C-alpha cells in the first residue's frame, strides 16, 4: 500500500507539474548537496528531456532556489516540456576544487538514476550553467572519468549550454586578470597549485579523452573581454577533440541579464538556446 501511494504521488506530479524540493543527491543531508526538481504540467506520451542547471556565484555563494537564476527560464523550459533540476553544490572557501565538480557529477548521477520516476529521460540530459555554474557545466560535459566515478553515464548528456563563463582555462584567466579581487576568487576556488588549476579547466581537460564531447552552446556578453576570450578558447579545444561548439556573442546584455532574461520572449539568449535545443 505504501509503495502504491508513492507511485500515485509521483504520477500526480508528472501529470500536474510541481516542485520536488531538497532532494539529497549525495545521501549525507548536507544542505549544499541537494537539488530541486521543477516538473512541467500536463501529460507526455514519452519521457521528457531534462535540464540540469548550476547557479553562479564565484564558487563561493549562490543557491539553487534564487529567483534571479530560476526565473523566467524554469517556467519557459517547463512550458517547452523540459524538467529542470536545479543543483546546489558545496562552496568555497569551505572546499576547493574538485569538490564543486564532484558534487555536480553526483547530482547528474542521481538525476540519471531517478528521473524516470518523475517522467524524465535519463538519456536526454542537458547541462546549463551561468558564470561559475557555466564553468561547472562545461567541466562536467568533458570530464568523463569524473562522471563515471560518480556513477553517471557521460553518453546521456546530449548538450551543454553556457552563460557567460570566464574560467574554462583557469591558469590563463588567473594570469590575465588585472583585478586582485578576481584573482583571489579564482585562487580560493582552485588554489595556487598549477596541477589543480589545469584539472579544473574544461579547455585543457577535453583533449584527454578519445570520445568526442557533447555539443556545446557557448554564450557570452559581447562586450566582456574575459568571457569572449575564454569562450573562444573552449570552442577551439572542443572542436580539436572532435566536438561541435557554437559561440554566440550576445549584444545588449551584461553578466547578470544574459542569465536573468533567459526565457523571455524575443530575448536573443532565449532564441539561441531554443535553436540549440530544437525548440520551435
> pLDDT tens, 138-189?
999 999 999 999 999 999 999 999 999 999 999 999 999 988 999 999 999 9
- Tell whether the model's pLDDT for residue 6 goes beyond 60: no
In the chain, where are the structural domains located? 2-275
Summarised one tens digit per residue, pLDDT across range 79-110 is 999 999 999 999 999 999 999 999 999 999 99
Specify the pairing of strand 83-87 against strand 35-41.
antiparallel
Residue 208 binned pLDDT confidence (cut-offs 50, 70, 90): low
Phi, psi dihedrals of residue 167, rounded to the nearest 5°: -140, 40
What CA–CA distances, in Å, run from 47 to 15, 21, 37, 39, 185?
12, 21, 15, 12, 40
Return mean pLDDT, the chain. Answer: 93
Residue 238, all three cell numbers: 572542443
Q: Which residues are bridge partners to 246 per DSSP?
A: 217
Report the top-level CATH class of 2-275. alpha beta
Summarised one tens digit per residue, pLDDT across range 23-72 is 999 999 999 999 999 999 998 999 999 999 999 999 999 999 998 899 99
Residue 133, all three cell numbers: 555554474
Residue 241, all three cell numbers: 577533440
DSSP string, 48-91: EEEEEEE--STTTS--TT-HHHHTTHHHHHHHTT-EEEEE----
Angle (nearest 5°) at CA 36 between 34 and 41: 165
Amino acid at each position: 500500500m505504501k509503495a502504491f501511494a508513492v507511485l500515485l504521488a509521483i504520477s500526480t506530479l508528472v501529470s500536474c507539474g510541481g516542485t520536488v524540493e531538497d532532494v539529497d543527491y549525495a545521501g549525507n543531508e548536507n544542505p549544499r548537496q541537494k537539488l530541486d526538481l521543477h516538473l512541467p504540467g500536463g501529460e507526455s506520451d514519452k519521457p521528457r528531456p531534462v535540464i540540469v542547471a548550476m547557479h553562479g556565484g564565484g564558487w563561493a555563494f549562490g543557491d539553487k532556489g534564487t529567483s534571479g537564476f530560476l526565473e523566467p527560464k524554469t517556467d519557459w523550459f517547463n512550458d517547452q516540456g523540459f524538467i529542470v533540476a536545479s543543483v546546489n553544490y558545496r562552496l568555497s572557501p569551505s572546499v576547493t576544487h574538485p569538490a564543486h565538480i564532484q558534487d555536480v557529477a553526483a547530482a547528474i548521477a542521481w538525476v540519471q538514476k531517478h528521473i524516470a520516476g518523475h517522467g524524465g529521460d535519463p538519456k536526454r540530459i542537458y547541462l546549463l550553467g551561468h558564470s561559475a555554474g557555466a564553468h561547472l557545466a562545461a567541466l562536467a560535459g568533458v570530464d568523463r572519468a569524473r562522471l563515471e566515478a560518480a556513477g553517471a553515464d557521460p553518453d546521456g548528456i546530449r548538450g551543454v549550454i553556457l552563460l557567460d563563463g570566464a574560467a574554462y582555462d583557469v591558469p590563463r584567466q588567473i594570469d590575465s586578470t588585472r583585478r586582485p579581487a578576481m584573482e583571489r576568487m579564482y585562487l580560493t576556488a582552485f588554489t595556487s597549485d598549477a596541477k589543480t588549476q589545469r584539472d579544473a579547466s574544461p579547455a585543457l581537460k577535453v583533449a584527454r579523452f578519445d570520445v568526442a564531447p557533447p555539443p556545446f552552446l557557448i554564450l557570452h556578453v559581447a562586450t566582456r573581454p574575459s568571457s569572449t576570450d575564454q569562450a573562444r578558447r573552449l570552442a577551439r579545444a572542443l572542436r580539436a577533440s572532435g566536438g561541435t561548439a557554437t559561440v554566440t556573442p550576445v549584444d545588449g546584455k551584461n553578466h547578470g541579464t544574459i542569465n536573468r532574461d533567459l526565457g523571455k520572449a524575443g530575448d536573443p539568449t532565449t532564441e539561441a538556446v531554443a535553436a540549440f535545443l530544437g525548440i520551435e
